[in-house]
Chains A and B, each alone.
Chain A
């Protein structure tokens, strides 16, 4: 018990005297505030208020200065983030541009995983069926007419796409659709849509990909072009 009390007092004293909870650094893109992640949240708020009031930067009438908050290993609830933004915004020309934390909740982590992972599914998506994944979809099988596949990310089909595919479902226009046989009734990427021609073609449409070009239109082309068009598809760290 005694030891604890002593320790507490000492830390407190040290922090108060030597180590500030808030350190400011001016950079070329504004102001970076490092916020201590071991003190209590209330102490942090108090010192932030003090520091900003004292800082002449915060009081000047000059142009808006963007502020980047680095909060280390502290988890901020959305409410706390809002509180920090409001506090800083009250200082005339400061505005929070980013809040960077090393930690996230398990829920956020799972969400992040869902949105970035490749989900592989082996089946035939038949008429009337809808297959929806959050991240990238790797379908081993066909999408028959009347069937729909939807992905938050890219769609890769090892098989024939004869139904509808919607990639970048949450608005990602960089997303692509690739298929061994590309004979869709409709393609959608983000909010852009493209449908099959009304006439039947004899083209084989093997190994093709679809993406949004610079005119905001979905175009279909050879699969091999993706390497240049979407270099981000490569996730191999050091390359071949």
Chain B
């Protein structure tokens, strides 16, 4: 029986879909059987970022409404043998097409067959969010180093903490720009972690290659040399329970790095 992890944020556009695609791919590379579920009904993206758009035949709403089995709707990612599958969102319905109970049933079914089910959550705290968290056992909150994103992350963490079936959420800080942090123009990692007081799972630098690779439908983790790729792989290893120290964002940033390490603790 696998585990279901919801990737959520409150604020839109901070990198939930990018994180789901890359962490899922990294876990598949590490040999786990992964199913990605796009719950952003009406605004599906995960298929595009994964480069699987042209293979979609059925979607999540078809499954819930009984037009096909889950197996039929799953899109296999041929790059990873039998390790990575995607359940795409419907593009022609909206969030109300699915209820939290139906969603939980679906995720429970998928957990039988996969090591990890990663659920890409839509922005906001309404029905789409409730659907996405209904079947989750764990949660990853994504934020960027902006005050408004951190505020929304805090709100989401508060809601997640009230969900008794979900373990304490963990944090990914996305799109850190080290020169802005250095100049004090951006919140730094320990400020954010201190403020939200949850465990830090990883930090991803702002990197235009992330955008480029998403546009090509090839998640950046497939490029072994980029910093963002290493960061995503490390996050995957931490999810598997390994203790991997945080990588410095830039080589000369020793000061911040040592602080982060301290915050990250002994994990």
What's the nearest-Cβ distance from chain A to residue B135, in Å?
A: 23
Contact with B along A138-166 (1 / 0, CB 8 A): 00001011110000000000000010000
Closest to A146 in B: B151
Cα A89 to Cα B7 with chains together (Å): 70
Chain A residues with CB under 8 A of B158: 126-129, 147
Chain A residues with CB under 8 A of B154: 126-127, 144-147
Give residues of chain B (146-188) contacting chain A, Cβ–Cβ below 8 Å. Answer: 151-152, 154-155, 157-159, 161
Q: A124 interface residue, CB < 8 Å from B?
A: yes
Closest to B161 in A: A126
Cα A176 to Cα B155 with chains together (Å): 27
Identify the interface centre among B151, B157, B158, B195: most chain A CB within 10 Å of its CB.
B158
Inter-subunit contact B151/A124 (CB<8 Å) = no
Chain A residues with CB under 8 A of B151: 127, 145-146
Closest to B125 in A: A128
What's the nearest-Cβ distance from chain A to residue B169, in Å?
A: 11
Inter-subunit contact A146/B197 (CB<8 Å) = no
Chain B residues with CB under 8 A of A142: 197
Cα A9 to Cα B158 with chains together (Å): 69
What's the nearest-Cβ distance from chain A to residue B220, in Å?
A: 31
What's the nearest-Cβ distance from chain A to residue B109, in Å?
A: 32
Closest to A162 in B: B195
Chain B residues with CB under 8 A of A128: 155, 158-159
Chain B residues with CB under 8 A of A145: 151, 154
Chain A residues with CB under 8 A of B195: 144, 162
Chain A residues with CB under 8 A of B155: 126-128, 146
20 A–B pairs (Cβ distance < 8 Å), ordered by A: A124-B197, A126-B154, A126-B155, A126-B157, A126-B158, A127-B151, A127-B152, A127-B154, A127-B158, A128-B158, A128-B159, A129-B158, A142-B197, A144-B154, A145-B151, A145-B154, A146-B151, A147-B154, A147-B158, A162-B195
List the 3 closest pairs (A to B, CB-CB), nearest first: A126-B158, A127-B155, A127-B154
Interface residues, chain A, CB within 8 Å of chain B? Answer: 124, 126-129, 142, 144-147, 162
